[in-house]
């Protein structure tokens, strides 16, 4: 699998990504910086599938002595390394901006925290977990369209769930504020990480299944 | 005789096309030409051998191992050249080799550079700037640099000018000189077979019409000097009469005669 990670990082032209990295310090508003950081990581995740789609290298790659399952898991590994790199760049930029530039958003330092990192990782893991099965099932073009529809559907479902939960627990919420907030936050972090890890695992299994079925 | 590749009753069904009961074998150290008209199933067969499409039935053994069960072990000994080879086109030839190399334990960088010199590959040039012929040569160099024991080439000569084509076929001949490498290449250009093939397998509408040593075919089925035929007519001896109208064509095909369809292979 490391061979595939090395392959992915050799294939990507890193010098071109420097332009994208430059966009981070340009965003001084905390939320904008977060969005740019997430967008950068998404671009990194999609870069190699994009190149493979553009140059139609699926047949070439699948003819190499690597099993389909390893190919898929290698792509997940590359994606998560890209997410980790994006996180490091974003966190580094945010920390630098909040300390060195007077004009930076005062809320910036709040984002450079464990909660900020968890939020970043949760969002991107969900993106990876949703995007890659679509990619391995349909290829990049159709897969991206299915992914977009899926994200919208998921957004709708989550908004609906939120509404239902608020409607059902509306009266309980004031009592919850009395609970030790730190403990609740720690629990929430673990629950998020567990849910996202389960989704990522399920996504990888699904992608392996899809890719094994694909014919080139 | 030691067999490199063996297909037994392979079937593959699509909505509008199917490969039926495909069986043939390629001995070690020989070149087999897979010939047939466009849409006959040559590329599907090559894809089945490389496990790029899933077979519905039958068995495909390479080096005695199933290409599906022992996928990695088999593929590490196979070199492939697809029709219209695709690469990461934004990378240089040298960088492409460095991307492919880690996948093969037996990759020989010195051999790749020797082949690159021999094929006159521009190492610093990005792949998308290479001509069709040079791309095929690059694919061949990548296939050979890990000392493949079986080369599978899908229409490697189509679209190449005669000089390139001749060079490529000469390289294939050179490949089998060591006695351990075998070559399976598909084509619809019969003169390629005459030049290099030891065995000829003719596929038509997803069925193998014959698979024999080239010399045997020539001895048994030659009509005059220009045509070899196979099919229902061989049994009744009327091949000469029905073969005449197709003599002079340069591609293999099928002719309908009194006793049904039969394959022709003009020299």
A56, A59, A65: residue with CB nearest B52: A59
Token digits of residue A124? 């991107």
Q: Which of B92, B43, B88, B91 is nearest to A53 (CA)?
A: B88
Cβ-defined contact of B88 to A6 (cutoff 8 Å)? no
| Chain A residue numbers touching B87 (CB-CB < 8 A) | 55, 57, 60
Q: Which of A128, A143, A147 is nearest to A87 (CA)?
A: A128
Cβ-defined contact of A7 to B87 (cutoff 8 Å)? no
Chain B, nearest residue to A63 by Cα: B50
pLDDT of residue A214: 87
| ipTM topping 0.95 | no
Q: Within chain B, what is the greatest distance between any pair of CA atoms?
A: 61
Strand partners, B208: B203
Cβ-defined contact of B90 to A55 (cutoff 8 Å)? yes
Which of B82, B88, B90 should be substituted to probe chain A, the one whose Cβ sees the most A Cβ atoms within 10 Å?
A: B88
Average pLDDT over residues B171-195: 85
| Residue at B134 is within a domain | no
| Residue at B90 is within a domain | no
Token digits of residue B208? 């193998």
Scanning B54-73 for CB atoms below 8 A from A yields 54, 71-73
Q: What is the CATH number of the domain that holds B197?
A: 3.40.50.300
Token digits of residue A8? 């992915």
Cβ-defined contact of A6 to B71 (cutoff 8 Å)? no
Instruction: State which residues form the domain around B160.
Output: 3-77+149-220
Q: How far apart, in whole angstroms, are the C-alpha atoms of residue B197 and residue B177? A: 13
Q: Give the pLDDT band of residue B249 (cuts 50, 70, 90).
A: very low
Q: Which of A63-67, A163-167, B155-159, B160-164 has maximum average pLDDT?
A: A63-67
CA B189 to chain centre: 11
Q: Which of B68, B55, B70, B60 is nearest to B23 (CA)?
A: B60
Q: Length of chain B, please?
A: 267
| Residue at B48 is within a domain | yes
Structural domains counted in chain B: 1
Chunked mean pLDDT (size 10), chain A, 216 residues: 73 62 63 79 85 87 91 91 85 75 66 81 89 90 90 88 80 58 79 87 94 87
| Residue at B194 is within a domain | yes
Specify the pairing of strand B31-35 against strand B150-154. Answer: unpaired
Q: Enumerate residues 6+ apart whose C-beta is below 8 A from B102.
A: A3, A6, A7
Q: Which of B264, B266, B223 is nearest to B241 (CA)?
A: B223
Average pLDDT over residues B92-107: 92
A/B interface, count of CB pairs below 8 Å: 62
A52, A57, A65: residue with CB nearest B104: A65
Q: What is the CA radius of gyration of chain B?
A: 19
| Residue at B15 is within a domain | yes
pLDDT of residue B239: 42
pTM over cut 0.80: no
Torsion of the alpha carbons at B103, B106, B112 and B113, rounded to the nearest 10:
110
| Residue at B262 is within a domain | no
Specify the pairing of strand B260-266 against strand B227-231. Answer: antiparallel
């Amino acid at each position: 699998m490391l061979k595939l990670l090395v392959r992915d990082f050799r294939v990507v032209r890193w010098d071109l990504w420097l332009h994208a990295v430059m966009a981070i310090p340009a965003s001084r508003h905390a939320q904008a910086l977060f969005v740019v950081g997430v967008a950068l990581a998404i671009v990194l995740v999609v870069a190699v599938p994009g190149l493979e789609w553009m140059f139609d290298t699926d047949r070439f790659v699948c003819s190499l002595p690597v099993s389909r399952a390893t190919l898929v898991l290698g792509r997940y590994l590359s994606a998560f390394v890209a997410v980790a790199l994006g996180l490091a760049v974003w966190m580094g930029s945010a920390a630098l901006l909040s300390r060195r530039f007077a004009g930076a958003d005062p809320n910036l330092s709040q984002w450079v925290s464990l909660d900020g990192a968890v939020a970043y990782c949760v969002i991107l893991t969900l993106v990876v977990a949703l995007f890659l099965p679509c990619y391995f099932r349909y290829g990049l073009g159709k897969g991206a369209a299915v992914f977009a529809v899926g994200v919208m559907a998921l957004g709708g479902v989550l908004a609906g769930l939120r509404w239902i939960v608020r409607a059902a627990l509306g009266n309980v919420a004031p009592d919850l504020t009395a609970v030790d907030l730190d403990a609740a936050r720690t629990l929430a972090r673990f629950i998020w990480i567990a849910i996202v890890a389960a989704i990522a695992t399920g996504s990888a299994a699904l992608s392996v299944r899809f890719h094994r079925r694909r014919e080139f | 005789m030691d067999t490199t590749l063996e297909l037994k009753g392979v079937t593959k069904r699509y909505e509008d096309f199917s490969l039926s009961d495909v069986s043939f074998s390629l001995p070690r150290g020989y070149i087999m030409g897979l010939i047939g008209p466009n849409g006959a199933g040559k590329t599907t067969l090559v894809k089945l051998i490389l496990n790029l499409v899933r077979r519905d039935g039958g068995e495909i053994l390479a080096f005695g191992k199933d290409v599906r069960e022992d996928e990695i072990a088999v593929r590490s000994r196979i070199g492939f050249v697809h029709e219209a080879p695709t690469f990461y086109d934004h990378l240089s030839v040298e960088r492409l080799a460095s991307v492919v190399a880690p996948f093969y334990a037996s990759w020989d960088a010195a051999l790749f550079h020797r082949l690159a010199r021999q094929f006159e590959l521009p190492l610093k040039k990005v792949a998308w700037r290479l001509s069709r012929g040079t791309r095929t040569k690059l694919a061949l160099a990548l296939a050979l640099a890990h000392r493949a024991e079986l080369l599978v080439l899908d229409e490697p000569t189509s679209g190449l000018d005669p000089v390139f084509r001749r060079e490529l076929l000469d390289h294939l001949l050179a490949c089998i000189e060591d006695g351990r490498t075998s070559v399976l290449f598909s084509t619809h250009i019969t003169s390629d077979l005459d030049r290099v093939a030891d065995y000829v397998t003719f596929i038509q509408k997803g069925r193998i019409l014959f698979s024999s040593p080239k010399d045997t075919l020539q001895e048994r089925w030659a009509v005059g000097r220009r045509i070899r035929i196979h099919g229902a007519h061989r049994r009744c001896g009327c091949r000469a009469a029905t073969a005449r109208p197709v003599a002079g064509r340069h591609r293999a095909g099928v002719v309908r005669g009194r006793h049904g369809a039969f394959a022709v292979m003009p020299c």
